[in-house]
Amino acid sequence: MSLGCKEAFIYRVKVLNLPKHEMSSIKKLFDTLDLHKFKKAPKWDYAYLNFETEEAAKAAMMKIDGREFKKRVLVTEYTKVSEESFRTRFETKKKKESEQEEKEDLRTPAEMLADQVTPLYKLAYEEQVAKKHKSGIRYLNSLRKKLNTLPDLNDAARDQIAWTNDRENNEYEILDPIHSPIIKEYRTKCEFTIGKDLNGERTVGFLLGQYRDGITSVLDPNECLHVSEKAKEIAKKMKEYIRDSEYEVYDRVSKTGVWRSIMTKTQTTGDIMILIQLRTTELSDQQLTQEKERIINYWNGLKQTINTTTLLLQTWDGDSNGITDKGHTEILIGDGYVYEKLLGCRFRISSSAFFQVNTPATELLYSKCAEWCNINKEKKTTLLDLCCGTGTIGITMAKSVDKVIGIEMIPEAIVDAKANAKINNITNAYYYANKVEDKIDIVANERNEEVVAVLDPPRNGVHSSVIRAVRESSQIKKVIFISCDAKQAMQNFIGPTSNRFKGLPFKPSRAVSIDLFPHTEHLLALLLSVFSIEAQDNSTAIEYNVIALLNQTVFKSMAVVVDNVSYPLESNTTFPIIYSAKAPAAQTGYQYAKVYSSNDSMLIESFTRQPVTENTPHEFFNRSWNTHDNVQLPQIYSMLSSVNRISSDLHKDNQIPTIHIIGNQTELDEMNTNSTADITVKTNVTYISLTDAFNFEKVKVSVSGHSSRSRSKLSYKLKLKKKHSLYGYRYIKLRAMSMDSSYIREQIAYDIIKSVGLISTEYSFARVFMNDQELGLFGLIEHFKNPWLANVFANGSSSYDNGYLYQGVFQGSSNQSLTSDLSYYENVTLYADGEYKMRQKATGGSKTNFEPLQAFTKFIDEAPTNTSDAVSTWKVELDTDSYLRSAALEILLGNTDGYFSMANNYYLYQNPETDGFLWIPCDMDLSMGTHANSVSDMWSGNYSTFPNIYERPLMKKIIAVPEFKETFEGYIKNITAQLINPNITYPRINSIVNMIRQDVEWDQTCTRVHSESDSSSMMGGGGAAMSNNSTMPSNNTTMSMNQTMPQQGNSTIQGGGGNPSSEESVSWEDAVNGTTTSSSISVKLWLQAIYQNTTNFYSQS
């Protein structure tokens, strides 16, 4: 270059964490970002973009950095090189590559495979570890350099990363690497390809190279250093099996054949899992069934040498290779789990669950992690286990901390985590299936508490939103970061505060490399970070949070009044109906207020909240309580043995969450106006409880119910997207309670159903908004749609193979003479006429298959009643306890819309384990005082007078079996004495009434979205509409809400006939409490009367 000429530069951006191939999709990505020239080789997990100016390079980095692509988080690196040196390096590299291509490959096949799967095997183990350790040090040094040369930083930002300038006095310590205790046969999980070897023979092992490089030959794993002997033996036996098979191995080129892959998990406990993957396109159903039987017999026959704990079969007909969660996995032997021991804890491992493959080295990793947490015994300590997977880290440390909170976005992993906590008797661990950024503030409500976060992200990196959430959390002062590829995230952790990362940065304190994968180039880096600068002194400030929906034409903002001083609250950008701000902790009390648009005056809560010293939960405007101490009903019968219900936070008995439905107003208006039509609107839904806040996109909302569709307050169904759930449930219903002036009938009915051990939905309350309108107080129930069956019968397992679920819905659509009373019809098509609905088809079954229901009704028609085997015969076809308890409740709760009265509102579930049916009651709003029948017939105490009881085939037949009649009457007497008894039910009712009192008052002021009047219903009495002028209950009424059971002696309480006038408006007081002289039949009056009359009837009979 001649003197005086300006040197030319190339401004280069390196894009990291790309998939190694996927060239066409990567090109599309860059094209959408208007970046059309890039360089990337197929095997690279990075790409280069070259620019002529620094501004253009940095603009590209802004577009790419943090973007999620193919489930990977992209990051960028920037370099500036002279054009001359760049071209020199390029030509030198090209020359070397050309020379290497000319060399003849003299390696044996075993050496080729070893270079593929254990590339460091030729080095002594000490040299391997030293090489990996140097790689980690180089990265930390490059990170320091990169931070130190960041352009355009202000003085405050420079101060935050000042530690990068002091090279001689390192502020962080790099420890000696930790060796794996075992260096051979350490892998507990292996995934083998089924293919053909170099001689064209069928075999099981590893590909000799990358398939995308044209390599399809497979070599057995016999000489692989990292594969266990047991896994090698399994591969050998599988090879023998497929060589005898009539079916061909899968050909990746022609995409034909059957046998694809096999995965082994050979745990140190001795447990063995084998998962075989095959392609079914070329197999008939009969051939597949026969092959399953052969596989089972084959592996059962090897128990002397390979004692398989669980055997699974995965069918996968897609193009991608390897075991996948997209395939259908079926358990052939065992329960689908193996178990591993780790630091004295026992862990359940499913086929899809991630678990470290080197158990002894993992114990060193977790022990070091626990050591670096530096648990302060003088403070409460919460371990925040981020990206927790199946809970291994938190569970191994749970006994050393006060609380473990695990957050993981994969619901199946959370199911495993909860199961593992239960297995190890860990009661202080709480697990949530959420994104980290949506749940991390769960720890923000405790003061004088030390929070240590452990972040163990998946291999594809940690999203920048997670890092942002950790940095912005005022509670987290210490993070332990575990990663196989730390460079993908560490810069964002330790970089200075910016527009993108507003929280204070962390700085490295200690770093160590732990070798979990001997003979490979992989290591696991463990880094401890702490705040680099002290947080602002907020010791006297707390965060106030309130839920409110503002009428923008009246109010402009929210405020909190603390000790008579007002502080503005800001709407949350993610959850706009949450208003928050920091303000001093109150000395005398605080109130929330709505600020008027016109004159800045405020509508202040009518009560003063007690002072708190911690951040408030999500409080609700104008509610004087956050949680309510409710009385519970006793559990008088154990849950049915077939039930294995998930632990879910969906129903919060002591609080009322808020649901905000946000959608196109025109579409919502059309749905509400045409409420009898089946109109579905796609919306976004926000769910907020005291501690949780979730947003769900593309939620399908529709009007729910039958006769209630004509009322002014409508009920709704919500359907979440696939893979989305609210505490494990995709389908929920919001019950308007428009048929129930008491607001509590279904709550108490479902409480009683649960207390007698029956299956049904659970029930709780929710406050509901729709766009800018307050809809009021609703009941929240589960909809009987999957994953409901898996949640109830299989603890939420995604691999549960459910049976058929039928619903009785009263009357057919074309033949009005047919009802769902369980009469037998020879023509099976009559069952699908409309009186029965197929609510869930069996796994692998048909949506139109009513034959199991027909067979059951035929059994009822022909069932024995007085033979010696009558009881045992019935119990094969029906869980008789599920029906007899339900029948007893139908009478004791006075259900006028159930099986007896209307041949309606029940489900029959065919249990796949027994093929017998279970009875599931539902829809309890027309009970305990809402009657279309003569009350004297219903609460007489003599069940034989209950309307239609002997008209229904099932009841008529089963009650004719003496043993069942005795059981049924025993249920009536026991439930009456131990549950219906007002001394037991009234305290529960009183506590619920006191909890919802302010919300009922609010509900009555809400404008209804439907023009029809509630009073148009046929139902009166307890179900008649509340007028806007109806009287709210108070403790000064003649019969207070907290009344005890009136003394009736031994007399029988008499009821009137028929229902009261449908034009009558009934106050909440009368609907709940009522009197015997009122035309309204109250909940308490019903319970008192049925208890008294039933007790008298059986004492006199």
CATH number at residue 222: 2.40.50.1070
Question: Residue 911: pLDDT above 60?
Answer: yes
* Cα atoms in the Cβ-side hemisphere of radius 13 Å centred on 659: 27
Percent of the chain with pLDDT over 90: 56
Distance, CA of 460 to CA of 661 (rounded, Å): 34
> Does residue 1066 sit within a domain?
yes
Specify the pLDDT at position 330: 95
Distance, CA of 171 to CA of 509 (rounded, Å): 7
Question: Considering only CA atoms, which of 156, 130, 151, 167 is closest in space to residue 80?
Answer: 151
Task: Note whether 240 and 319 are same-domain residues.
Answer: yes
Chain-centre distance for alpha carbon 747? 24
Instruction: Read off the pLDDT of each residue in 772-788 and give the average, rounded to a whole number.
Output: 95
Confidence of residue 710 (pLDDT cuts 50, 70, 90): confident
Helix (H, G, I), strand (E, B) or coil at 225: coil
Specify the pLDDT at position 164: 77
Specify the pLDDT at position 1075: 62
Task: Note whether 298 and 362 are same-domain residues.
Answer: no
> Does residue 400 sit within a domain?
yes
Specify the pLDDT at position 864: 93
Last residue of a domain, one of 573, 593, 620: 620
> Does residue 870 sit within a domain?
no
Task: Note whether 241 and 319 are same-domain residues.
Answer: yes
Place of tokens 């992209």: 74
Last residue of a domain, one of 50, 80, 99: 99
Binding residue ranges for S-adenosyl-L-methionine: 356, 408, 456
> Does residue 502 sit within a domain?
yes
**61 token code pair:** 């980095």
What single-letter DSSP state applies at residue 977? I
Q: Which phi and psi (to 5°) does residue 107 adopt? A: -75, 150
Task: Note whether 307 and 421 are same-domain residues.
Answer: no
Q: Which residues of 652-664 are buried (b: 16+ CB within 10 A; e: fewer)?
A: bbebbbbbbbbbe
The residues, ordered by sequence, that sit 6+ positions from 575 with a Cβ below 8 Å of its Cβ are 686, 688, 693, 695
Q: Are 311 and 333 in contact (CB under 8 A)?
A: yes
Report the DSSP beta bridge partners of residue 50.
12
Lowest mean pLDDT among 663-667, 741-745, 1015-1019, 1079-1083: 1015-1019
Task: Note whether 268 and 224 are same-domain residues.
Answer: yes
Q: Are 1035 and 995 in contact (CB under 8 A)?
A: no
CATH number (domain holding residue 437):
3.40.50.150
* Cα atoms in the Cβ-side hemisphere of radius 13 Å centred on 684: 10
Task: Note whether 376 and 495 are same-domain residues.
Answer: yes
Task: Note whether 201 and 255 are same-domain residues.
Answer: yes
> Does residue 510 sit within a domain?
yes
Specify the pLDDT at position 65: 83
Last residue of a domain, one of 567, 592, 620: 620
Specify the pLDDT at position 91: 62
Domain of residue 128 covers: 109-184+358-528
Question: Residue 448: pLDDT above 60?
Answer: no
Task: Note whether 72 and 209 are same-domain residues.
Answer: no
Confidence of residue 565 (pLDDT cuts 50, 70, 90): confident
The 3-class SS string of 892-937 reads HCCCCCCHHHHCEEEEEEECCCCCCEEEEECCCCCCCCCCCCCHHH
Distance, CA of 1067 to CA of 1034 (rounded, Å): 12
Q: Which phi and psi (to 5°) does residue 564 adopt? A: 70, 10
Binding residue ranges: 356, 408, 456
User: Which position among 345, 484, 922, 1006 bears the catalytic label?
Assistant: 484
- 484 in active site: yes
State how many domains the chain has. Answer: 5
Confidence of residue 295 (pLDDT cuts 50, 70, 90): very high
Task: Note whether 175 and 229 are same-domain residues.
Answer: no
Question: Residue 1051: pLDDT above 70?
Answer: no
Pairing of strands 693-704, 680-688: antiparallel
Task: Note whether 197 and 264 are same-domain residues.
Answer: yes
Task: Note whether 113 and 206 are same-domain residues.
Answer: no
Specify the pLDDT at position 685: 98
Task: Note whether 513 and 480 are same-domain residues.
Answer: yes
> Does residue 905 sit within a domain?
no
Lowest mean pLDDT among 19-23, 156-160, 726-730: 156-160
